[in-house]
Amino acid sequence: MLILVDKILTQIAMPLGLGLLVLAFAVLAMFLGRRRQALAAAMFVGLLIWAFSTPFLANALSRTLEERIPALPVDSYPVVDVVILLGGALSPPDSEAVLFELHEARDRVVQAARLYRAGKAPRILIAGGNVFGGDGISEASAIADFLVFMGVGRDDIILESESRNTRENAVNSAAIWRSQGFDKGLLVTSAMHMPRALAAFRKVGMDLIPVPIDYLSGEDDDPFPLLFLPNAASLRVSSLAIKEWLGLLVYHWRGWG
């Protein structure tokens, strides 16, 4: 239940969720005859959605997170004991075919396979369970199938299938880390998620080198007007950046990172 509450509050804090909440207030204000307040609220919603939907603001927000840790070529990383691969790269399974599909964060999975095949680590630990519970296959198990398809040995994969968020990823992986006697590892996740993930894993005592991937910030070399024309993709990038900043603040407040 706590996971569900956290996700609901997060969605409300996003530009679209907040905008709809303020829009509901505008409708109520209009119904009560408070036209000035309704107009002000409606204008606020329009400006809010427009601003966070522009490539200019989306790029600026995402870079505050993605540029903290630079990406390196695979050959530049040292040889370690294990690659820690975080879930979040799969879409829910189709109800009929019961198949998971890799979505835009699939670069995480590909990068982990690259590191393994380059000899940077002999094992891959995948952290990812069923976010809302249930008896279906865990995300870690589904990702393992993709890794095997990419040439990773099934016996070289360790599954952590109980975690539902980044904090649980770290805590559960740390228990496996200690039981396996690992000393050094590589942490693979999306660049925007890396600051929060790395802080959470280091908080539980794991010595990890970050391997950021899946960069979402674009270039600002488009013609001037295009940088300020709203689009759905930029709204999503802005929302992800806000989510990560809120997550960093919450994890610091809770002592998780």
Per-residue pLDDT tens listing for the chain (257 residues): 566 777 787 888 899 899 999 999 999 999 999 999 999 999 999 999 999 999 999 999 999 999 999 999 999 999 999 999 998 877 666 555 556 677 677 899 999 999 999 999 999 999 998 764 555 678 899 899 999 999 999 999 999 999 989 999 999 999 999 999 999 999 999 999 999 999 999 999 999 999 999 999 876 667 778 889 999 999 999 999 999 999 999 999 999 98
Q: Could you tell me if residue 197 is left (phi over 0), alpha (psi between -120 and 50 degrees) or otherwise beta?
A: alpha
CATH fold of 74-213 reads: Rossmann fold (3.40.50)
Can you give the pLDDT at residue 21?
Answer: 93
Can you give the pLDDT at residue 217?
Answer: 86
Look at the block and give the residue holding tokens 């589904």: 142
CA separation for the pair 170, 256 (Å, rounded): 9
Residue 10, judged by CB atoms within 10 A of its CB (0-12, 13-18, 19+), counts as middle
CA separation for the pair 28, 177 (Å, rounded): 54
Angle at 70 between CA 69 and CA 74, to 5 degrees: 120
Residue 98, judged by CB atoms within 10 A of its CB (0-12, 13-18, 19+), counts as exposed
Q: What is the domain partition of the chain in residue ranges? A: 2-66+225-254, 74-213
The contacts of residue 213 (CB under 8 Å, 6+ apart) are 71, 107, 108, 110, 111, 188, 189, 190, 191
- Buried b / exposed e across 208-222, counting CB within 10 Å, b at 16+? bebbbbbebbbeeee
Can you give the pLDDT at residue 130?
Answer: 78
Look at the block and give the residue holding tokens 């370690």: 80
